[in-house]
Amino acid sequence: MENNQPEESLILESIDRFLERDVKPHVREWEHDDIYPHEVVAQMKEMGLFGAIIPQEYGGLGLSASTYAKIVERISVVWMSLTGIFNSHLIMSAAVQRFGTGEQKQRFLPRFATGELQGGLALTEPDCGTDLQAIRTSATREGEEYTVNGTKTWISNGIHGNCLALLVKTNLSAEPRYKGMSLFIAEKGEGFSVSRKLEKLGYKGIDSAELVFENYKVPASNLIGGEEGLGLNHTLAGLELGRINVAARGVGVARASLNEALAYAQVRQTFGKPIAQHQAIQIKLADMATRVEAARLLVESAARAYDQGQRCDMEAGMAKLFASEAAISNSLEAMRIHGAYGYSKEFNVERYYRDAPLLAIGEGTNEMQRIIIAKQLVERNPI
């Protein structure tokens, strides 16, 4: 999809005004008290963010991944948690958009675009994270519906959302295991319950939940693509967008850390001059700024490949790996530059330090990204 520069500029300016007016004044209170920002979520729905990449024909904004990544970076500079609320939702939407039947697209995408149906991706289980083929949640067909039993954990939007893309086993004995996996659109109903909210080090505000399915019924018409056994492929394709989002978050947190450190280094004085004039601090600032720019370029490369319809698991993996590590490094350096104040809840730096590590775990660990990158390097460069 081609970027429309004037339209993109208007959207980004609107995002900046929204953040400055409605988020920045409250974020420290909401984050520390772990308050779900209902009013802000409602505003994001009105702005169309829940339909950001959904085509206009289905009521979405139809934005490119490149523009979407810029939006995610901007929001993450102010409060990373907000991006998770619509990112998980849009991965669910992308699964229907890319692999759903015509009927499924007509039925779900307009409701996803408005946020009437708000949700995410239900993959992880108590004994299964990176190895998705080890999931145990099962779905057994009985006529025109499936009966689901199992448990999912660490599910974003699990409490305040009302719909999930649910990965299950429809054939427990299939070999290889991925051929027995299917992805459903599962709306909340009888047998679909939240067992508990999960407390986290950072990434506050957004709800993370453990979900239990006990004889939960889902219509056969909600099987994405209408064919069993394709769930893992559908999920992995959606994670390309998710990893671009996480990488863009990394750029945002790395940039926020740099901004705070740069400002503080110019007002904090030691030995009669601002600490920004000490070489030890200058070296830190230079490295931080370089990480931000390099991470942003990797995100742009991955988003461009996604927009062109190319396979981009390597590009998205590289962006996610580098940008998340940049966020971790920059948040720590910002804390060091701030000294004791960086450890105080009165400053934003300690939040960046708590938020950044999630980026190295979510949407596939960074160890897994390295393996994906290496495998793609070999596959794309045979001798």
DSSP 77-123: HHHTHHHHHHHHHHHHHHHHHHH--HHHHHHHHHHHHHTSS-EEEE-
Nearest residue to 58 via CA among 89, 4, 103? 103
Please tell me the predicted confidence (pLDDT) of residue 6: 65
- Angle at alpha carbon of residue 206, lines to 202 and 207, rounded to 5°: 105
* Residue 158 CB neighbour total at 10 angstroms: 25
**Contact by Cβ (8 Å): 109, 124:** no
pTM for the complete prediction? 0.95
Q: Is the pLDDT of residue 255 over 60?
A: yes
Which of 63-72, 232-241, 245-254, 348-357 is predicted least confidently?
232-241
- CATH number, span 119-229: 2.40.110.10
Between CA 49 and CA 214, with CA 90 as vertex, the angle to 5 degrees is 125
Q: Tell me, what's the pLDDT at 239?
A: 85
Output the average pLDDT for the chain: 95
Query: Distance between CA 369 and CA 372 in Å, rounded?
Result: 5
Q: Mean pLDDT across the stretch 247-256?
A: 98
Q: pLDDT at residue 48 above 50? A: yes
Cα–Cα distance for residue pair 134/168, rounded to 1 Å: 10
Cα separation of 300 and 302, whole Å? 6
The answer on pLDDT for 1 being more than 50 is no
Domain with CATH 1.10.540.10 in the chain: 5-114
Long-range contacts of 317-320 (CB under 8 A, 24+ apart): 317/243, 317/364, 317/369, 317/370, 317/372, 317/373, 317/376, 318/369, 318/373, 319/243, 319/244, 319/247, 319/295, 320/243, 320/244, 320/246, 320/247, 320/250, 320/359, 320/363, 320/364, 320/366, 320/369
Which member of 315, 325, 350, 363 is catalytic?
Answer: 363
User: Per mean pLDDT, which range of 10-14, 84-88, 110-114, 129-133 is the poorest?
Assistant: 129-133
Tell me what pLDDT residue 3 has: 54
Alpha-carbon gap, residue 274 to 267, rounded angstroms: 6
> ∠ at Cα 137 (155, 366), nearest 5°?
50
**Neighbouring C-alpha atoms within 13 Å toward the C-beta of 54:** 27
Over range 124-142, report the average pLDDT. 91
Q: Report the C-alpha gap between 239 and 233 in whole angstroms.
A: 10
H or E, element range at 239? helix 231-267
pLDDT value at position 131? 86
DSSP helix, strand, coil percent of the chain (3-state; round to 5): 60, 15, 25
Within 10 Å of residue 29's Cβ, how many Cβ atoms?
9
Kindly report the number of other CB atoms within 10 A of residue 327's CB atom.
34
E-strand ranges in the chain read 119-122, 138-142, 145-156, 163-169, 181-187, 192-197, 208-219, 269-270, 273-274
pLDDT for 293-335, tens place per residue? 999 999 999 999 999 998 899 999 999 999 999 999 999 999 9
Per DSSP, the chain holds a count of helices (H) and strands (E) of 11, 9
CB of 207 closer than 8 Å to CB of 160: yes
User: pLDDT-based confidence at 237, cuts 50/70/90?
Assistant: confident
Q: Is the pLDDT of residue 117 over 90?
A: yes
CA 218 to chain centre: 26
Burial class (CB in 10 A: 0-12, 13-18, 19+), 378: exposed
Structure tokens at 113: 């675009």
Buried b (16+ CB within 10 A) or exposed e, 303-317: bbbbbeeeebbbbbb
Which DSSP helix (H) or strand (E) runs through 256? helix 231-267
Over residues 35-63, the mean pLDDT reads: 96
For residue 129, the model assigns a pLDDT of 78
The mean pLDDT value for 340-355 works out to 96
**CATH 1.20.140.10 domain residues, the chain:** 233-380
The domain at 233-380 falls in which architecture?
A: Up-down Bundle (1.20)
Q: Is residue 300 flagged as an active site residue?
A: no
Spatial separation of the C-alpha atoms in residues 64 and 303, rounded to whole Å: 8
Structure tokens at 173: 């004995």
At the topology level, CATH places domain 5-114 in: Butyryl-Coa Dehydrogenase, subunit A; domain 1 (1.10.540)
Instruction: Give residue 127's pLDDT.
Output: 86
What is residue 2's predicted lDDT score, i.e. its pLDDT? 47
Location of each CATH 2.40.110.10 domain in the chain = 119-229
Closest CA to 247 of 171, 183, 322, 176: 322
pLDDT digits (tens, 9 = 90+) for 135-144: 999 999 999 9
